[in-house]
Amino acid sequence: MTAGPAVRAFARREWGPLFGTVRAAPAARWWRAVPLTLGAVCLTALFQLVQNQPWGYGPVQAVGSVRAGEPLWVALLRTPLSLFVPALDLPVWGALAQILVVFGIAEICLGRTRTLVVAYVSTLAGTMYARLGIALGPDVPLLGLPASDARVVDTGPSAAVVGLAVFVCWRYRAWLTGWLVIAAMVVEVVVKPNLAGKEHLAALVAAVAAYGVARWRGRLPGAQGRPGPDGVPVPGGVPVPGGSSGPGGVPVPGLPSGAGGAGGTGPCGVPVPGGSSGPGASGGAG
């Protein structure tokens, strides 16, 4: 096998299931496929706009800024909104792009509720780690943090982004991509061992644990679907305009949904327009 076909085969194995699912949902529902993501992008942009106003920095910090030196109950109240407060020292377009891409893919692949849960658990893990690290002190290798980090604001959306990225990659068997995300976060801590980098690692640990629990309980979304053209899986259960579901919930374009008396049943339960039944249908002429 030459390099070209080998690369294409690897890409189909690594990203085919994920790409097939992401491509099908917007084609069927457009913007209605990612309302959570669009809301998160708008809320992050709003927080960025407000906190850069002379009157807005204080209110944004009061509702969405989490520091390890604050009381725990305050941090827990602010943590949900801290997912959408971008860091002041980083370009906001980076945070918006991360949320749009990663949250969007996660919402399509996992659903709104599971996306929010994984994002919140990842962010909360970073927040709780910061308190643990400061309590351990800088003399403890790897886990310890200096007392000055108690005044540093947490990572904002980035902890949720890395947690969701690994969860989605492993859910859709893009194993190498998931491990590359983890490796990048480890390199970040080695090169710049600050609070943000270590919170990212804590978020990854929480996301991996959430993935393990979901698999153990059998609560992950359904199968990725059957292989389609070029080996790219066709996700089941995604509505296609003007079509109905074929075997395994795979949409069959051009067939009326709920054919009822207008058509019979063909092989494998696929409706046949015109009121007749295809071969293999039950109740056919003997």
> pLDDT tens digits for the chain (286 residues)?
556 788 888 888 888 888 888 888 766 666 677 899 999 999 999 999 999 998 999 999 999 989 999 999 999 999 999 989 988 777 888 889 999 999 999 999 999 999 999 999 999 999 999 999 999 998 888 888 999 999 998 888 899 999 999 999 999 989 999 999 999 999 999 998 889 999 999 999 999 999 999 888 876 654 344 334 333 444 433 333 344 333 333 343 443 444 444 444 444 444 444 444 444 433 433 3
pLDDT of residue 50: 94
Structure tokens at 83: 């997912």
Rounded to a whole number of angstroms, the CA Rg of the chain reads: 24
Q: Are strands 263-265 and 251-253 parallel, antiparallel or unpaired?
A: unpaired
pLDDT of residue 156: 82
